[in-house]
Amino acid sequence: MPAEPLRILLLEDTDSDAELVQRALRRGELAFDLRRVETEAAFTRELHAWNPEVVLADYRLPTFDGLAALEIVRLSDAGLPFIFVSGTLGDEKAVEVLKLGATDYVLKDRLSRLVPAIQRALSEYEQRAARRRIEAQLERTRRLDSLGRVAGTIAHEVNNVLMSIQMVMEPLRAAPDPGMAERVADQITLAVRRAQRVTTEVARFTTPVSPEVSVVDLKNWIETFAGEIRAFLGEKILLEVQVPPDAMNVNVDIRQIEQVVTNLASNARDAMDDGGQVRLDLRGVTQEGRRYAEITLTDTGSGVPPDVHARLFEPLFTTKRTGTGLGLAVSHQMVVAHGGLIYAESEPGVGTQFHVLLPMV
């Protein structure tokens, strides 16, 4: 247990009940500092300004209710221990509040359970936090590792470009006629453009992306965005779009999702030199008990051979003469930042299908 007194925020309107809760806490020999609130305004203020480590809440209050309080807490901290302390909470309600994210519930006539319930909730919370810290560390190591490799390749790429510019400098200086100078200038422009593409995409890749999220109905979004994709794909490629009958709400940075779909569409276009078909599907799926909105982009292009398939999302991996190999690496990073998944299926000669799964609200 921490040496500092435990900060407990109590949402309770009845004086006598608040007194009972405090007595139970004292009996449990818990060093604590308790603040009691009764209204939504006070609750929200204390939650953010005081940073309680545990929330205890009555289920029914005159002007505010426990479930609404739970929702407020869950929006700001998914794991903060939140325990209902209620006079009456039938079995059904109890199951429901746990499903809605409450950590536990204690009945007012069984307050001896309160301190053990708090202790269990805290130890689970600490374990989760420790796990998250370790995962974040691993992720940083992975990033540094791949950045090291990326830096080497960029140096190589940009160097190639500089060399090709240097090579045309001599003929340019000695240019006997304006036509020659013009050709050389064109070559330099191309080389510089290539270097710029590498550096802008790398900058985008290495700037940490923290999504600016809001709730978006993907069905609604895809119906408008499909127009942009259609224009982008050009006339040789036929775009078909399929959406579900109902709204599909996800919590996303929609600019980033647009970037991901654009990257996929751009690869599909590159894979279909002689034209073809692209299908954009949206549907709901369940994976490992979680609901996701799935965006699928299918092309009838060249497909991906197995050795390429293994390296698709690797930064700077490209099979194209003027590719940067960052489209899929950036897309992967963005989708993962949203708690989602991205993967590909492909049959060489038939086509490729990319799946993007985003957690539903």
Out of 301, 334, 335, 342, the residue judged to bind ligand ADP by CB under 6 A:
301
Question: Is residue 260 involved in binding ligand ADP (CB under 6 A)?
Answer: no
Choice between 33 and 273, CB closer to ligand ADP: 273
Residue 252 sits at φ, ψ, to 5 deg, of -140, 165
Interacting residues with Mg ion between 244 and 283 (CB under 5 A):
267
| Smallest separation (angstroms) from Mg ion to the CB of 328 | 6
| 299: partner contacted, choices ligand ADP, Mg ion, none (Cβ within 5-8 A by kind) | ligand ADP
| Smallest separation (angstroms) from ligand ADP to the CB of 246 | 29
Q: Give the per-residue contact string, 313-332, with ligand ADP (x = CB under 6 A; - = no).
A: ----xxxx--xxxxxxx---
Choice between 200 and 319, CB closer to ligand ADP: 319
* Of residues 295, 269, 270, the one with CA closest to residue 282: 295
Beta bridge partners of 65: 60
| Smallest separation (angstroms) from Mg ion to the CB of 170 | 35
Out of 299, 334, 340, 357, the residue judged to bind ligand ADP by CB under 6 A:
299
| Smallest separation (angstroms) from Mg ion to the CB of 325 | 8
Are 240 and 278 spatial neighbours (Cβ–Cβ below 8 Å)? yes
Instruction: Single out the segment in contact with ligand ADP by CB under 6 A; choices: 27-35, 53-61, 253-261, 265-273.
Output: 265-273
Question: Is residue 271 involved in binding ligand ADP (CB under 6 A)?
Answer: yes
Choice between 58 and 201, CB closer to ligand ADP: 201
Dihedral in degrees, nearest 10, Cα atoms 78, 100, 357, 199: -20
How far is Cα 221 from Cα 248, in angstroms, rounded to an integer? 10
* Of residues 264, 283, 265, the one with CA closest to residue 219: 283
Choice between 86 and 324, CB closer to ligand ADP: 324
**Token pair belonging to 84:** 């209902």
Choice between 325 and 340, CB closer to ligand ADP: 325
DSSP 7: E
* Of residues 345, 346, 334, 341, the one with CA closest to residue 358: 341
| 268: partner contacted, choices Mg ion, ligand ADP, none (Cβ within 5-8 A by kind) | ligand ADP
Residues counted in the chain:
361
Out of 268, 335, 342, 357, the residue judged to bind ligand ADP by CB under 6 A:
268
Beta bridge partners of 359: 292
Beta bridge partners of 354: 297, 344
**Token pair belonging to 27:** 């009996």
Choice between 121 and 297, CB closer to ligand ADP: 297
Choice between 103 and 300, CB closer to ligand ADP: 300
Question: Is residue 196 involved in binding ligand ADP (CB under 6 A)?
Answer: no
Q: Which residue is nearest to Mg ion (CB)?
A: 327
How far is Cα 193 from Cα 227, in angstroms, rounded to an integer? 28
| 250: partner contacted, choices ligand ADP, Mg ion, none (Cβ within 5-8 A by kind) | none
How many residues bind ligand ADP (CB under 6 A)? The answer is 23
Question: Can you give the three-state secondary structure of 288-337, one letter per residue?
Answer: CCEEEEEEEEEECCCCCCHHHHCCCCCCCCCCCCCCCCCHHHHHHHHHHH
Choice between 103 and 298, CB closer to ligand ADP: 298
How far is Cα 268 from Cα 276, in angstroms, rounded to an integer? 9
Beta bridge partners of 56: 10, 83
Instruction: Single out the segment in contact with ligand ADP by CB under 6 A; choices: 36-44, 59-67, 148-156, 300-308.
Output: 300-308
Interacting residues with Mg ion between 323 and 352 (CB under 5 A):
327
Strands (E), the chain: 6-11, 32-37, 54-57, 82-86, 104-107, 214-217, 237-242, 249-252, 276-287, 290-299, 341-347, 351-359
Amino acid letter, residue 218: L
| Smallest separation (angstroms) from ligand ADP to the CB of 356 | 13
Interface residues toward ligand ADP, by CB under 6 A? 263, 267-268, 271, 299, 301-304, 308, 312, 317-320, 323-329, 352
Interface residues toward Mg ion, by CB under 5 A? 267, 327
